Amino acid sequence: MPRSVREILEQAEALARRFENEEPDRGDEAGATALAVLHRAVLARARAEAAIVAAVNRARDHGQSWDAIGRRLGTSGEAARQRYGQPSHR
């Protein structure tokens, strides 16, 4: 699981290249459409995770506690700190 914004965006780029280079079976329009929808969802998830990282960093820069951040993320403060408190997120 990527942990920094750079890693998240690199993973999204790698997935995009895989989807772009994959050739669907001829006559499988429904399958190709499903893969296109999946591709867009993966990119949206990567963008959302990058936005969360940026928001967590901003909240920390403004003195917010890990407990307060964890509550907004739906987790504990310790879990938030473990996931987003690494120097690679800065």
Kindly report, residue by residue over 53-76, the tens digit of the pLDDT.
999 999 999 999 999 999 999 999
Containing H/E element for 8? helix 5-21
Domain count, the chain: 1
Query: Long-range contacts made by residues 60-68, C-beta under 8 angstroms, separation at least 24?
Result: 60/85
- pLDDT value at residue 90: 54
Nearest to 73 by CA among 84, 88, 63: 84
* pTM, full prediction: 0.65
Q: Which residues constitute the domain of residue 38?
A: 5-89
Q: Kindly report the CA angle at 49 between 20 and 7, in degrees rounded to 5? A: 65
d(CA 56, CA 37): 28
